[in-house]
Amino acid sequence: MIASPRSAASVPSRRPRSSRSHQPHRVDALIALAGLTGGIALWAVGLHTQGGRPLPGAWVLLPMTVMAGVELLRRSSPRTALIVATLALVADQFTMGSVATVVMFTDVMYAAVLYGTPAAARRIPWTTGLITVAVTIGFVTWLRTPEALLIGVVTALVGFFPASTGVLVRNHRDAAESARLRAEQTALLAEMDRTQAVAAERARMARELHDMVANHLSAIAIHSTAALSLDDERTTRDALGVIRENSVEGLAEMRRLIGLLRKSDDPGRVSAAPTLRALDTLLEQARTNGASSGLRFTLDDRRGEGVALPTPIDLAAYRIIQESLTNALKHAAPGTTTVELAGSDHALTVRVRSPFGDRPGPRAPGSGAGLIGMRERVELLDGEFEAGPVTGADGGKIWLVRAELPVVEGRERT
């Protein structure tokens, strides 16, 4: 069963990094609730980060509450959240201070890099790194004690390290997203390749089926029409003989095609593909089928002895001649149809000339698929093909089929 290909509309689009809806994310709400609850608990037991500040007592709860509220915006508005959180952290320095406020600020810094714009993700780590270096140098210069280095370490822990962690996580997420998109695109390309391969195989099967069966069915149609239209016992018997012969040969060709399509490990079940060595048999069959319509068939082989052709070229030339003879049986006027073969070191040229015009007697209908199939065969081999009425040497109209098939090593396509 051939699965239908996915349409272009099914190409997966890149999912947004985060939701920009105004509704706070559930995780953000839980972080804000946990930070606020922990901060209140620390304040209740009297645990602070500093003392002797101008705003003692419950003032520490104000920046803490603002920081918890900012946590609700860490995913939906990371830039606004970082600005407000920075102001709240500065305000916290004028109170007795809370570890919960500092911890929540580090989370906001981390989220600003992870969920912010690509420009912000590049800029924030550099900014926090420069601030850390400036604070460290400034306090060491001012205090002139080794303990001043701890202020730089704390600044890095609050700003630079969360930002760097956000960069690492964001890079991993981007890499995973890129890998997912590449995998989906690879799957889509594989599906397109499979679809094209199936279509090409169906076209090849259609050409093979048409070329193998059309010749025999055309002869059956012509002779059965003659048998029905002429009330003559001998003519009827001759027509029935031709019909039986073409039916048997058509069934043999069908068995060969079925053998090619079946997946069998027994190579003996698959017949060999026809080659130009069977041209005499093909022409003899055409003479038998066209005798009642006044058609004659001749072969002019100028290739020389012992000329070996690549298998694709040999098969294509045979099928082109077979289809040309079938078309002559269907449409050619009484006269001689000539098959010419000419070869060189670079190409094999096939020409089939048949009388062009109306003819008496029964004719088989045509669909035009034969010319399409011949053209496709030649194009697959990088050759040249033309077919149509031309003026012959005697001034009369003839139908000419000409195919030039290159046989240079490496050019032919299997």
pLDDT at position 62 is 92
Tokens of 381: 């081999």
What predicted TM-score, i.e. pTM, was given to this entire model? 0.50
pLDDT category at 262 given cuts 50, 70, 90 is: low
pLDDT over 60 at 349, yes or no: yes
Q: What is the chain's mean pLDDT, rounded?
A: 80
Percent of the chain with pLDDT over 90: 26
pLDDT at position 263 is 55
pLDDT at position 215 is 65
Q: CA-CA distance, 232 to 390, in Å (whole number)? A: 38
pLDDT over 50 at 1, yes or no: no
Tokens of 336: 């001689």
pLDDT at position 391 is 85
pLDDT at position 4 is 44
pLDDT category at 343 given cuts 50, 70, 90 is: confident
Other CB atoms within 10 A of residue 301 CB? 15
pLDDT at position 111 is 92
Write the pLDDT tens digit of every residue in 197-231.
Answer: 888 777 777 776 766 666 666 667 666 766 666 66
Write the pLDDT tens digit of every residue in 45-61.
Answer: 888 777 666 777 788 89
Percent of the chain with pLDDT over 70: 77
> Are 343 and 307 a contacting pair, CB within 8 Å?
yes
pLDDT category at 169 given cuts 50, 70, 90 is: very high
Identify the weakest region by mean pLDDT among 41-45, 127-131, 200-204, 275-279: 200-204
pLDDT at position 2 is 40
Four-CA torsion 319, 324, 325, 327, nearest 10 degrees? 130
Tell me what the mean pLDDT of segment 323-344 comes to. 85
pLDDT over 70 at 12, yes or no: no
